[in-house]
Structure 1
Amino acid sequence: MNPNQPHTLPPTYFEAVYQANEDPWHFETSPYEREKYAATVAALPRPQYARAFEIGCSLGVLTEQLAPRCGHLLAVDVAAAPLEKARQRCAALSQVEFRQMSLPDEFPVETSFDLIVLSEVGYYWSGPDLSQVTNLLLAALVPGGQLLLVHWTPPVHDYPLTGDEVHDFFLQQTASNGPLRHLHGFRHNTYRLDVLEKI
């Protein structure tokens, strides 16, 4: 990763995006997103997880699909507007908890997880912040816990990193004596999915 990369995109960036458009990435309506969400849920190796953490839940479309697989699901986002819609969408799902939170500066250090979902978020961080987030996620993941990564791979001008840079950084943690092992993954023509497990 280039040390001269731009800084992590701030919460104000996302607040402005959601102010301009309630569903700026078409999470609710796009056939592409629908297929990707189905592939994401299908990639989970276990039928059930006791405690899960979804980073960057946005409008809660994926949250709603993850919830039946989770005893408790903490879903966070940096912006208030999408969280309000996510709460409405998942109002009947008592196992889902939403919080407004900005990583790496804020992190739910009071608990541990057996599933962490990082979908379409990692490329918003600078290289140093991605490294810091990775350390926090590894500390929060129980042994045998799984980390599911899904990211758009074409470069985006505004984003500090690409999806491939995010996934490659995490895959470096699977090298000999690393804390993670790679369970499986695949590359779509515009996104990449990898599932890792803490040793």
Structure 2
Amino acid sequence: MEKKETLKADYFADVYAANDDPWNFETSAYEAQKYSATLQALPRNQYRNALEIGCSIGVLTKMLAEKCHHLLATDISEKALDFAKIKCKDLENVNFQLLHFPDELPNDQFNLILISEVAYYLSAEDWKKAIHKMYEMLPEKGEIVLVHWLPVVPDYPQTGNQVHYAFRKEMESKMENVFKTRTDQYRIDVWRKF
């Protein structure tokens, strides 16, 4: 089977050039249900310092902010971040940063890292590196939440299942899987650092 490379910024620039909300985050019943399930999966009511990787236009960001003292939301697309900033303009606890994940990550500690519908854009090798980088950004008892679409998308280097299995393989001796659920369309796993 052919190994696919990580999708780069120009891929997402093209996607957002074609449509301001390319995945229908604001109108999709699937997205609304998944966002609700994601927030319900969080083990804590409040997080001191959280990181959202791949915030897109900020729909989930706005909901997640209610559970965070400080939330740093990042994306690879400047256009997406512009929309997210508008959506969250009244939220003083949210900051935004243009980052090319996994090559660029903030130099900080986060007790929550959320990576929703993002990791399958990475090659298996880049995802493995990203897993270890994120682990280093967690204090003891810090949590990583993975949420991914399961059906195969031909453009994407990996499937949602491959992403979650790889995380388990890399981290099962260092982190505890404290929550998991799946539907026909997506799965959610929450991992906590020992």
TM-score by length of 1: 0.95
Decide whether the 8 Å contact of 1:181 with 1:198 is kept in 2: yes
Return the match for 1:71 from 65, 69, 73: 69
Paired with 1:195 and 1:119, the residues of 2 have a C-alpha distance of: 11
Residue 165 of structure 2 aligns to a residue whose secondary structure is helix
Q: Secondary structure at the match of 2:23?
A: coil
Secondary structure in structure 1 of the residue aligned to 2:73: strand
Corresponding letter in the other structure for 1:51: N
- Asked if structure 1 preserves the Cα contact closer than 8 Å seen for 2:85 and 2:96, the reply is yes
Q: Do structure 1's residue 107 and structure 2's residue 102 form an aligned pair?
A: no
Q: Deviations over 1:48-107 (max 9, x none)?
A: 000000000000000000001001100000001110000000001011010010012111
- 1:83-102 pair list within 5 angstroms: 83-102=81-100
Quote the Cα distance in structure 2 between the aligned partners of 1:172 and 1:183: 16
User: CA-to-partner distance for each residue in 1:96-120, whole Å, 9 max, x for gaps?
Assistant: 01001001211102x1000000100
Moved over 3 A (4+): none
Is 1:126–1:161's contact at 8 Å kept on the other side of the alignment? Answer: yes
* Aligned residue runs from structure 1 range 1-199, under 5 A: 4-109=2-107, 111-175=108-172, 178-199=173-194
CA displacement at 1:174 relative to structure 2: 4.4
Displacement of 1:173 in angstroms is: 3.4
Partners of 2:128 and 2:170 within 8 A in 1 = no
Alignment TM-score, normalising by the size of structure 2: 0.98
CA distance in 1, matches of 2:138, 2:27: 32
Which string of whole-angstrom CA distances, capped at 9 and with x for unpartnered residues, describes residues 115-158 of structure 1? 00010000000011101111110000111011111000011000
Q: Which residue type is aligned with residue 95 of structure 1?
A: N
Letter in 1 for 2:3: Q
Q: What letter is aligned with 2:150? A: T
- The share of aligned pairs that are identical, in percent, is 45
Asked if structure 2 preserves the Cα contact closer than 8 Å seen for 1:174 and 1:182, the reply is no
- State the alpha-carbon separation in 2 of the partners of residues 6 and 170 from structure 1: 18
C-alpha RMSD of the superposition:
0.9
Determine the C-alpha separation between the residues in 2 that align with 1:174 and 1:98: 28
C-alpha separation between the residues in 1 aligned to 2:51 and 2:177?
A: 19
Q: Which amino acid aligns with 2:185?
A: T
